[in-house]
Structure 1
Amino acid sequence: MLTGVLLPVLLAWNNLLVHRLPGRPGSYVVANVAAAGVLLAAARAAGLSWAELGLDRRRLAPGARWGGGCAAAVAAGYAVALALPALRPLLADGRVARLDAAELAGQALVRIPLGTVLWEEVAFRGVLLAALARLLPRAGAVGVSAAVFGLWHVRPTLGALAANDLAGPPLARAGAVLLACLATAAAGVLFAALRERSGSLLAPALLHLATNSLGLLAAATAHRLGQPVP
């Protein structure tokens, strides 16, 4: 029952619903944090344990070790890309170039950790993966959750293409969206593997946070380093 409701809700939430809420963009974080709380309450009411959800306190230390190590590797990768001028354009993002210091801090410290990482990890590597694991073999549960995570990124990818003047003709745009969905589905598999290996949702959350928040800051730094000296 939970899975049957959760799948269409998740497919619609990021692509059709949340960006239409009143008060956008300020309502984004509040809506997603509230949705995470509702989802956890529904999962517990459906009989899923804290351990199944990746929220067993006894697994926090392994989660911190695995997630921290992966986050450090991501940070090192961004540092290398920033240090090499030839790689800096790979970090460019037109949406970041328009943000001032306060907006960057708000994105990196509030919007991404709470509005994106908390919500997506609870939804995909927490509740959805646990619910699917009761119905499917573990590999099947990971595959379905990763596929839905990929489809979750259709609208954000279209927004990123438009912001960076990369929309192009419909066929090229569809190809770019497909590649982005495949890439995020692959990331979903990696996040799920971290969740499984550590037994804690903290591990994929730390990697996810490092990828997004540090990626935002790296993009802003790359933009500033690429500006001509007056």
Structure 2
Amino acid sequence: MTDAAPARSRRVPAVVVAVLTLAASTTLANRVLPGWAYPLCGSVAALVLVLLGRAAGCTWRDLGLRGFRRPALVGLAGAGLVALVFGIALAVPALRTVYQDGRVGEPDLAQLLWLTCGRILFGTVLIEEVAFRGVLPALFGAADDRWRWGPIAAAAALFGLWHALPALAIGRNAAVHAVFGATPAVVLQVLAMAAAGVAGIFLHWWRHAGRGVLASVIVHFTTNAGGLTLAVLVR
């Protein structure tokens, strides 16, 4: 038996445990736990997944958790592009409906800081990037130095499924409602999950270009937190 065979034998059950961990995490976060526990649940799940990846034989490099300078610089470049896109959408009146989202409410400054730096950063971005751009691609056999569609697409598909519960409320966004208002809820949910899967591939490109999960963390956080902040400002 080659050295690769035992590694694969460890990674198959690790994938199963990782998927079960993620399923439990999203169910607890979206259906069971109080709001204050949302980032705690995501952080604990991220730690469990990292330990699982290491136990399965993945290196820190495999997991995208080695290095700082290049991932940070690439991530900041991506954040700049996201900010540019947001600025264009904000400047064009016809595009401002993108920021009109019934899920946002009317948070004050303290609540906005909690939502962006608490819930989004630790409850959403951390777990999603560690899981779907770090641990799962590594367990599926992705290599840090080259693009491999199989592992990346598999992780992106699971990323889409991960959004099954959040996608139930996607119709409350004004732009989505204007385009898909007559679409059955289940179809809209599937479309939202498919869009999340495509976004997963996009985010993995940043992780790949930066040679680290930190790059996709920065892009992901800028997208989610920036979008929420603008939605609050233009409501």
Shorter-chain-normalised TM-score: which range?
0.7 to 0.9
CA distance in 2, matches of 1:133, 1:206: 24
Partner of 1:29: 39
Which letter maps to 2:49? L
Q: Deviations over 1:78-124 (max 9, x none)?
A: 12222222221121111213322221111112211111111111111
1:19 to partner: Cα distance: 2.3
Partner of 2:95: 87
Partner of 2:28: 17
- Structure 1 position 144 matched with structure 2 position 154: yes
Distance of aligned partners of 1:41 and 1:8 in 2 relative to their CA distance in 1, 3 Å threshold: closer
- Structure 1 position 204 matched with structure 2 position 212: no
SS for the counterpart of 1:99 is: coil
1:11 to partner: Cα distance: 4.1
The answer to whether the Cα contact below 8 Å between 1:89 and 1:222 also exists between their aligned partners in 2 is: no
What stretches of structure 1 move > 6 A for 4+ residues in a row? none
Mind listing any 5+ residue stretches in structure 2 that lack a counterpart? 1-12
Partner of 1:159: 169
TM-score by length of 1: 0.86
TM-score by length of 2: 0.84
Partner of 1:108: 116
CA distance in 2, matches of 1:17, 1:168: 30
CA distance in 2, matches of 1:197, 1:133: 18
Distance of aligned partners of 1:200 and 1:148 in 2 relative to their CA distance in 1, 3 Å threshold: same
Which letter maps to 1:140? G
The answer to whether the Cα contact below 8 Å between 2:101 and 2:172 also exists between their aligned partners in 1 is: no
The answer to whether the Cα contact below 8 Å between 2:98 and 2:173 also exists between their aligned partners in 1 is: no
| Pick aligned residue for 1:68 from 64, 69, 76 | 76
SS for the counterpart of 1:9 is: helix
CA distance in 1, matches of 2:110, 2:234: 18
Mind listing any 5+ residue stretches in structure 1 that lack a counterpart? 224-230
CA RMSD of aligned residues (A): 2.3
What is the total number of aligned residue pairs between the two structures?
217
Partner of 1:227: none
The answer to whether the Cα contact below 8 Å between 2:25 and 2:45 also exists between their aligned partners in 1 is: no
1:53 to partner: Cα distance: 0.3
CA distance in 1, matches of 2:212, 2:155: 17
Distance of aligned partners of 1:100 and 1:4 in 2 relative to their CA distance in 1, 3 Å threshold: same
Partner of 1:51: 61
RCO (CA 8 Å, sep 6+): is it higher in 1 or 2?
Answer: 1
The answer to whether the Cα contact below 8 Å between 1:192 and 1:204 also exists between their aligned partners in 2 is: yes
CA distance in 2, matches of 1:2, 1:61: 30
